A = this chain, B = another copy of it.
Amino acid sequence: MERIDVCLIALRRILRATELHGKELAQSAGLTPVQLRVVQILAESGTSTGGAIAKRMHVAPATITAMIDKLQRSGHVARQPSHIDRRQTLIALTDKGREALKRAPDALQQRFAAEFEALDDWEQAMIVAVLERVAVMLDAGDADRGAVLYPGDL
């Protein structure tokens, strides 16, 4: 078997193992999986507009409006009108939103951390290096995906 295949299989196993908990992860944060992704995106970008989020998630703007409505009602995000362009509505995390994010990763953290700490020093170092490498490889592949049509534009 080719090395690349072994790699991909391992990657898929990693994905599956964690994806399994995507739902639980979100629930532990008091959110739905999709809502958690919105919150994660906001955490990265600091403040964003609805349209930007829509593009990143590959959904129609109307979908984001509905989603932000819910997150606003639950107190996780806040809308504030933009002063530079008054058509835009800026969306930002509230403290509650940031707290939810902190609670979310615990499941993954706890599962991985215990085993990781038990490893030899050199092995830990190697894992860190490789995971970073792979992350960069995948992130890079993601970069050219910024401008994408809405599903409805197809």
Contacts from A to B (Cβ < 8 Å) = 3-4, 6-8, 10-20, 22-24, 37, 40, 58, 105, 108-109, 111-113, 115-117, 123-135, 137-142
Contact = CB atoms under 8 A, between A and B. Distances in A.
Given A127-B130, A128-B10, A130-B131, A138 B4 contact: no
B138 A111 contact: yes
B131 A115 contact: no
A127 B12 contact: no
Given A116-B137, A131-B7, A19 B19 contact: yes
A10 B111 contact: no
A134 to B, nearest CB: 6
For this chain, the copies found in one complex come to 2
21 contacts: A4-B112, A6-B128, A7-B128, A7-B131, A8-B113, A11-B14, A11-B131, A13-B139, A14-B134, A15-B15, A15-B18, A15-B19, A17-B135, A17-B139, A17-B141, A19-B19, A20-B142, A112-B141, A126-B126, A126-B130, A127-B130
A24 B141 CA distance: 15
